[in-house]
């Protein structure tokens, strides 16, 4: 079984929503679309207050090369372009769109009924709450109208006659970004810098974070779309081999995709590779090492330096939709899971939907049901996810899951003394010495930190996970890393 | 709005292992050997162990409480481990007050003066043992002979002493006795087999890694084989504190290097020093001194032996800047 | 005194034997020869009496001599010539090693003072003008006087004014928390309240108020070294002009959001209404990014603005 060369841990995977079919969340009443959902410069808004937008219409344009377009996730009227709090409690520029029903708009969306399509001007005081058992494609109480040129039919479009440049342009127009978490604009990743040569496309289906299952469900339910997306990406990069790395705890997804690649001639270049279950298998550098044996050099080294480009499976599906269907990135699958929720789910939601709507759809927070216990809501999985402090914050393109932790698991253990057990050194996948980095960072010895390859840290959290004394290693390592980076730039 | 949400930096999950669990595992691994010594050396062995453990725990608690004025750290079992290991290094016939002196040296001088758990540069139990050995050489080198009967105890020479002083030939010793531990010696070092079993348990629990024990025993084996053939090598591996030292003492977290390569260097150093002391030094037993000497080298090893950085060419420095 | 010693160093004095009479050759022979003879005799006696002891002593002596020669050689080889004035200058400095001057400790500062020709830009905030004057006299260089300053906490978001939205469970360090998120309140500009500034202060001038969860400055202890300013990840602490009797007027807010956003998160925030600007007669107040700022040098402590402020964001210490 393939895996990365050193370090790593095996947290209990807790894939509660593994067997839950992706469910489409009803359209929200109001969405908050941040202009900066990606790494790089924020997009520039091209709509203003009072504008009526259709779903999929461009509302913010990429401001430079390393930036991404943003499209309207629902049809409605722009209420404001304003600073609003994001999940981390910081102000961010967001476009607020309130839903407007369009009469007779259903022609664009055949699976939506016309019942609720009346123009509702009286706004209900509460937000739209998901009905408990809303199966996919069920009649919806709100309708929408898609922008021109978007094919919303469910048919698969296998043939593609576009040139690589045209495909890349479509990807860029659709505002695609890496959907695995970091949110790097896809078109930037696919534009190979001069002097570099790419030989392999790697698709990340490892999903090594506990609790998260969105990629797993995507691979199972949208396998063929995924594979078409992969072949499109291969065409853009001009490579004839792609490897999809999937952790072995998703045997059904591996079998499904392997069967598909055997069935169709078109997907012959795609190899499905089972990987050992080991965190952080899905880390970019770890995945490259596991699938090819190549070692990505430390930052600013990228996988492209060793001839690889890595994409997430959800991104590949989004590529398919953008290229074959003309559909921009306005919705994604989000796993809403955790011990604090009664109904863990995989939800297909529109970008900009408030997180509270998703939590309500998954059974609601324990505190909503009278219990006064405090919970921790994570944007992402428990290993790398960011704790959120504000629940009206929106879903963004790179949000793969929400994990709700409650009770003692929501809190850190009492911190003890370092016993120098060297566990952190053993589990570090990057060959660093976290105990030392933490000490140096605490003491402010930035030059030493640089010598000790602080910059190589990928912040996977293995060190802190494994620490028997529960020392907040990563807290200080992150701090030191930021300082080292800052000093290097100047 | 009240504070409903907890926020903390990632990661948000923790592994199951804790300091106290690790220490408890070490104690568990030592229990079979302890039971065996009680069987062969009688209740004295248990008394020495109890006094040692209680002494260590009380000293740890008292120093935390009255000198550091901090929170008690007795709950992490580290003092218990030190106590058991100290007792294992003493003859069963040693006077109990001397055990208390040892416990004080171990906790009070070797551990707490440096700041407590994880900060001590030398293995506390070994410091105490060496202190007692130098201060009370007679009592520390008078070993009861296990006869199988619990009460009949008389002093005898350990196999190492016997071989060293030419009393016996190494090849003529009964290896079964050495392996199972029916020989004179320190309380816990006699049963090579049970100590090894405990070591396997620790390896299975991943409390220790194989690097240190294997490199120590390997070096000792190769070294002694070169000097006196395989029987001599086998004898040296099983006699005395070789296994106790390699599996339980040298692997002490605070005093051993952090990286795998460093651990191997450390182990090789201990093995070579131990055999050197045993064969050509003044003492028949060299494990404690070898380990303490290499403890002193550990910070140096940690400074120079680094793990292999991912994606960094081993010989190239900072090519990206 | 100084003139005399200067004279002595002159070239024509080099061969002068008047001030230090050279011993006569006989005296020299006695001074070195007698002990040597005595020593040799002692050794010979020892050798006769006990050979082992003799060799022991002799070996140790030889070792000592070899070590002395090596040490002397190494010391000569690696001798560092240092300006004596550096030591003297360092003695004039407070010795707090706080880094407030921008150098790594008082020694480094003294080196800079001695080596630089123009030291008018260097200043020791702890010692203040008195220390700098002493340094100027000793080194014969000109220094610039600076107004004394004092650290001021520009956040008034106490617990009752700024509701807590979340509970922080990470390492209690402002820098760590600031890296993670906007803070436990709705205001992402305000004080985190974990006391990085208190930990940074070497003089005990800062203390965390348990009730307000804000740091409090004791102006008499504050030496304006600026460590807290660097330690605060939010840039809340500012060194402002120190008035007599520690009187001060300042805007206790650094939130640059619009007024409507500020009021949502904090009742004591500056909303940038500009009322203070209108009443200020000394042109000391300016408003940038919806945030008022009082220039502590221009301000004459008339306190008119304090009464005008609708949110009480202007704090006064009298």
Nearest to A83 among C167, C183, C261 (CB): C261
- Whether the CB-CB separation of A311 and A179 falls below 8 Å is answered with no
Instruction: Based on DSSP, count helices (H) and strands (E) in chain C, helices before strands.
Output: 12, 9
Is B204 a residue whose pLDDT tops 90?
A: yes
Those of residues 164-193 in A touching chain B at CB distance below 8 A are none
What percent of chain C is predicted at pLDDT more than 70? 93
Closest chain A residue to B20, measured at CA: A468
Residue C27 binned pLDDT confidence (cut-offs 50, 70, 90): confident
Q: Which of A295, A298, A301, A304 is nearest to A202 (CA)?
A: A304
Query: Which range has the worst mean pLDDT, A26-35, A233-242, B270-279, C257-266?
Result: C257-266
Q: Does C260 touch chain A (CB under 8 A)?
A: no
Is A33 a residue whose pLDDT tops 90?
A: yes
Q: What is the ipTM of this complex?
A: 0.88
Region C212-228 average pLDDT: 89
Residue A216 binned pLDDT confidence (cut-offs 50, 70, 90): very high
Any residues with CB less than 8 A from the CB of C267 and at least 6 apart, and which?
A: C161, C162, C311
Q: What is the DSSP letter of C159?
A: T
Per-range mean pLDDT, top range of A367-376, B270-279, C23-32: B270-279
Residue C7 binned pLDDT confidence (cut-offs 50, 70, 90): very low
Q: What is the DSSP letter of C164?
A: B
pLDDT single digits (tens) B56-80: 999 999 999 998 888 888 888 999 9
Q: Does B314 touch chain C (CB under 8 A)?
A: no
Q: Cα angle at A427 between A425 and A429, to 5 degrees?
A: 95
Residue A237 binned pLDDT confidence (cut-offs 50, 70, 90): very high
Closest CA–CA distance from residue B14 to any residue of chain C (Å): 13
What pLDDT was estimated at residue C19? 55
Region B27-36 average pLDDT: 92
What pLDDT was estimated at residue B168? 63
Closest CA–CA distance from residue A177 to any residue of chain C (Å): 23
- C4: which 2 tokens? 């005399």
What pLDDT was estimated at residue A126? 37
Those of residues 456-475 in A touching chain C at CB distance below 8 A are 472, 475
Q: Does A356 touch chain B (CB under 8 A)?
A: no
Q: What is the DSSP letter of C203?
A: S
CATH class of domain segment(s) C149-317: alpha beta
- Whether the CB-CB separation of B125 and B85 falls below 8 Å is answered with yes
pLDDT single digits (tens) C92-106: 888 888 888 888 888
Is A115 a residue whose pLDDT tops 70?
A: no
Residue B156 binned pLDDT confidence (cut-offs 50, 70, 90): low
Q: Which of B289, B279, B288 is nearest to B164 (CA)?
A: B279
Region B258-269 average pLDDT: 95
Region A25-32 average pLDDT: 91
Any residues with CB less than 8 A from the CB of B312 and at least 6 apart, and which?
A: A297, A298, A431, A453, A456
Q: Does B163 touch chain A (CB under 8 A)?
A: no
With 0-12 / 13-18 / 19 or more C-beta atoms within 10 angstroms meaning exposed / middle / buried, residue C51 is exposed
Is C140 a residue whose pLDDT tops 70?
A: yes
Chain C residues whose beta carbon lies within 8 Å of the beta carbon of residue A412: 169-170
Residue A102 binned pLDDT confidence (cut-offs 50, 70, 90): very low
Is A172 a residue whose pLDDT tops 80?
A: yes
Chain A residues whose beta carbon lies within 8 Å of the beta carbon of residue B313: 297
Q: Which of C318, C288, C276 is nearest to C301 (CA)?
A: C318
Closest chain C residue to A374, measured at CA: C167
At B118 the three-state DSSP class reads: coil
Closest chain B residue to C162, measured at CA: B1
Which domains, from first to last, does chain B contain?
19-304 (1.10.3430)
Q: How many CB atoms lie within 10 A of CB A199?
A: 15
Q: Does B138 touch chain C (CB under 8 A)?
A: no
Is A383 a residue whose pLDDT tops 80?
A: yes
Q: Which of C79, A50, C159 is nearest to B3 (CA)?
A: C159
Chain A neighbors (3+ CB pairs < 8 Å): B, C
- Whether the CB-CB separation of B68 and B46 falls below 8 Å is answered with no
Pairing of strands C214-217, C206-209: antiparallel
- Whether the CB-CB separation of A91 and A83 falls below 8 Å is answered with yes
Please give the C-alpha separations between residue C174 and each of A388, C179, C190, C200, in angstroms, as whole numbers. Answer: 17, 8, 11, 12
Mean pLDDT score of chain C: 85
The reply to whether residue C188 touches residue A90, judged by beta carbons under 8 angstroms, is yes
Beta-carbon-side half-sphere exposure of residue C109 (alpha carbons within 13 Å): 28
What pLDDT was estimated at residue A458? 92
Is A378 a residue whose pLDDT tops 50?
A: yes
What pLDDT was estimated at residue B151? 37
CA distance A55 to A48: 16
pLDDT single digits (tens) A156-171: 888 888 999 999 999 9
Nearest to C176 among A387, A411, A475 (CB): A475
The reported pTM is: 0.83
State CA C223 to chain mean position distance: 9
Residue A110 binned pLDDT confidence (cut-offs 50, 70, 90): very low
With 0-12 / 13-18 / 19 or more C-beta atoms within 10 angstroms meaning exposed / middle / buried, residue C172 is middle
User: Within chain C, where are the H helices?
Assistant: 2-8, 25-49, 51-77, 84-92, 105-115, 128-139, 174-180, 196-200, 227-231, 259-265, 275-279, 304-308
What DSSP line would sit under B163-201, residue for residue? HHTTSS-GGGS-HHHHHHT-S---TTTS-HHHHHHHHHH
pLDDT single digits (tens) C243-262: 888 888 999 999 988 888 88
pLDDT single digits (tens) A299-338: 888 899 999 999 999 999 999 999 999 999 999 999 999 9
Residue A106 binned pLDDT confidence (cut-offs 50, 70, 90): very low
Closest CA–CA distance from residue A426 to any residue of chain B (Å): 8
Mean pLDDT score of chain A: 86
The reply to whether residue B2 touches residue C166, judged by beta carbons under 8 angstroms, is no
Is A103 a residue whose pLDDT tops 50?
A: no
Spans of all domains in chain C: 85-139, 149-317
Residue A119 binned pLDDT confidence (cut-offs 50, 70, 90): very low
Domain C85-139 has CATH 1.10.15.40: yes
CA distance C309 to C183: 26
pLDDT single digits (tens) A62-98: 989 999 999 999 999 999 998 888 888 888 899 999 9
Q: Does A445 touch chain C (CB under 8 A)?
A: no
CA distance A38 to C20: 83
- Whether the CB-CB separation of C156 and C214 falls below 8 Å is answered with yes
Nearest to B9 among C163, C176, C184 (CB): C176
């Amino acid at each position: 079984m393939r895996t990365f060369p050193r370090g790593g841990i095996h947290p209990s995977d807790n894939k509660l929503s593994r067997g839950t079919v992706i469910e489409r969340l009803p359209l929200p009443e109001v969405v908050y679309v941040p202009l900066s959902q990606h790494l790089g410069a924020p997009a520039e808004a091209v709509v203003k207050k009072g504008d009526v937008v259709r779903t999929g219409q461009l509302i913010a344009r990429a401001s430079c090369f390393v930036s991404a377009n943003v499209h309207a996730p629902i049809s409605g009227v722009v209420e404001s372009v304003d600073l609003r709090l994001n999940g981390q409690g910081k102000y961010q520029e967001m476009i607020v769109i309130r839903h407007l029903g369009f009469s007779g708009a259903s022609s664009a969306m055949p699976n939506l009924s016309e019942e609720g399509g009346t123009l509702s001007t009286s706004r209900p005081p509460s937000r739209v709450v998901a009905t408990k058992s809303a199966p996919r494609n069920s009649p919806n109480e709100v309708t929408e109208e898609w922008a021109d040129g978007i094919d919303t039919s469910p048919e698969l479009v296998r043939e593609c006659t576009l040139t690589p440049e045209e495909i890349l342009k479509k990807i860029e127009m659709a505002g695609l970004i890496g959907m695995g978490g970091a949110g790097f604009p896809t078109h930037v990743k696919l534009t190979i810098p001069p002097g570099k040569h790419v030989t392999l496309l790697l698709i990340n289906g490892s999903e090594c974070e506990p609790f998260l299952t969105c990629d797993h469900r995507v691979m199972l339910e949208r396998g063929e779309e995924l594979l078409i997306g992969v072949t499109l990406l291969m065409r853009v990069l001009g490579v004839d081999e792609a490897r999809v790395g999937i952790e072995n705890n998703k045997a059904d997804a591996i079998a499904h995709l392997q069967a598909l690649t055997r069935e169709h001639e078109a997907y012959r270049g795609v190899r499905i590779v089972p990987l050992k279950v080991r965190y952080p298998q899905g880390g970019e550098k770890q995945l490259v090492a596991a699938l090819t044996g190549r070692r990505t050099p430390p930052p600013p080294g990228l996988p492209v330096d060793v001839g690889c480009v890595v994409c997430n499976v959800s991104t590949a599906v989004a590529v398919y939709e953008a290229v074959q269907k003309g559909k921009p990135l306005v919705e994604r699958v989000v796993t809403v899971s955790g011990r604090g929720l009664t109904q863990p789910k995989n939800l297909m939601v529109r970008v900009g939907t408030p997180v509270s709507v998703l939590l309500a759809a998954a059974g609601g927070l324990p505190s909503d049901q009278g219990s006064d216990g405090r919970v921790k809501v994570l944007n992402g999985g428990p290993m790398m996810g960011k704790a959120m402090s504000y629940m009206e914050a929106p879903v963004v393109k790179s949000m793969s899951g929400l994990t709700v932790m409650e009770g003692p698991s929501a809190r850190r253990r009492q911190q003890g003394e370092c016993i120098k057990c060297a566990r952190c050194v053993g589990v570090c996948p990057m060959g660093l010495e976290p105990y030392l980095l933490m000490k140096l960072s605490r003491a402010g010895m930035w030059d030493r930190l640089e010598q000790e390859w602080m910059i190589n840290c990928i912040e996977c959290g293995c060190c802190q996970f494994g620490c028997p004394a529960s020392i907040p290693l990563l807290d200080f390592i992150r701090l030191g890393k930021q300082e080292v980076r800052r000093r290097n730039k100047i | 709005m009240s504070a409903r949400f907890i926020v903390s930096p990632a990661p948000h999950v923790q592994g199951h292992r804790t300091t106290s669990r690790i220490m408890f595992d070490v104690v568990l691994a030592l229990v079979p050997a302890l039971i065996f010594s009680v069987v062969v050396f009688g209740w004295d062995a248990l008394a020495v162990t109890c006094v040692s453990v209680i002494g260590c725990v009380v000293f740890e608690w008292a120093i935390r409480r009255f000198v550091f004025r901090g929170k008690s750290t007795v709950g992490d079992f580290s003092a218990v481990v030190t106590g058991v290991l100290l007792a294992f290094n003493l003859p069963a016939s040693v006077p109990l007050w001397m055990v208390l002196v040892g416990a004080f040296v171990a906790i009070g001088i070797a551990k707490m003066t440096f700041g407590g758990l994880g900060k001590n540069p030398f293995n506390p139990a070994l410091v105490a043992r060496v202190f007692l050995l130098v201060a009370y050489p007679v009592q520390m080198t008078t070993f009861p002979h296990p006869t199988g009967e619990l009460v009949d105890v008389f002093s005898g020479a350990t196999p190492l002493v016997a071989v060293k002083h030419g009393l016996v030939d190494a090849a003529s010793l009964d290896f079964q006795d050495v392996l199972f531990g029916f020989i004179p010696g320190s309380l816990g070092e006699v049963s090579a087999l049970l100590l090894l079993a405990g070591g396997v348990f620790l390896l299975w629990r991943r409390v220790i890694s194989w690097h240190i024990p294997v490199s120590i025993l390997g070096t000792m084996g190769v070294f002694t084989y070169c000097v006196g053939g395989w029987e001599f090598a086998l004898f040296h591996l099983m006699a005395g504190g070789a296994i106790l030292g390699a599996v339980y003492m040298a692997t002490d977290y605070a005093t051993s290097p952090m990286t795998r390569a460093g651990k191997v260097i450390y182990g090789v150093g201990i093995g070579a020093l131990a055999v050197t002391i045993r064969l050509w030094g003044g003492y028949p037993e060299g494990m404690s001194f070898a380990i303490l000497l290499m403890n002193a080298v550990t910070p140096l090893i940690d400074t120079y032996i680094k793990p292999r950085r991912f994606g960094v060419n081993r010989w190239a420095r900072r090519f990206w800047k | 005194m100084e003139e005399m010693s200067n004279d002595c160093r002159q070239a024509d004095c080099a061969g002068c034997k008047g001030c230090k009479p050279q011993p006569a050759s006989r005296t020299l022979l006695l001074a070195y020869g007698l002990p040597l003879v005595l020593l040799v005799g002692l050794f010979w006696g020892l050798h006769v009496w006990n050979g082992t002891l003799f060799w022991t002593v002799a070996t140790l002596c030889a070792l000592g001599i070899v070590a002395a020669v090596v040490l002397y050689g190494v010391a000569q080889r690696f001798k560092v010539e240092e300006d004596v004035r550096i030591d003297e200058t360092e003695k004039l400095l407070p010795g707090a090693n706080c880094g407030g001057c921008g150098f790594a400790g008082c020694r480094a500062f003294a080196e800079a003072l001695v080596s630089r020709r123009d030291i008018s830009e260097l200043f020791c905030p702890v010692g203040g003008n008195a220390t700098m004057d002493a340094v100027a006299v000793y080194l014969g260089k000109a220094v610039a006087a600076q107004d004394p300053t004092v650290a001021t906490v520009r956040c008034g978001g106490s617990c009752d004014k700024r509701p807590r939205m979340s509970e922080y469970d990470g390492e209690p360090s402002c820098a760590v928390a600031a890296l993670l998120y906007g803070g436990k309140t709705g205001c992402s500009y305000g004080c985190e309240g974990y006391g990085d500034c208190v930990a940074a202060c070497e003089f005990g001038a800062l203390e965390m108020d348990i009730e307000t969860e804000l740091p409090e400055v004791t102006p008499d202890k504050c030496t304006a070294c600026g460590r807290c300013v660097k330690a605060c990840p939010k840039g809340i602490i500012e060194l402002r002009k120190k008035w007599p009797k520690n009187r001060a007027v300042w805007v206790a807010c650094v939130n640059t959001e619009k007024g409507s956003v500020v009021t949502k998160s904090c009742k004591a925030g500056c909303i940038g209404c500009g009322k203070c600007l209108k009443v200020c007669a000394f042109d000391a107040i300016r408003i940038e990014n919806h945030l008022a700022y009082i220039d502590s040098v221009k301000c004459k402590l008339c306190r008119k603005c304090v009464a005008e402020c609708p949110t009480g964001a202007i704090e006064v210490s009298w």
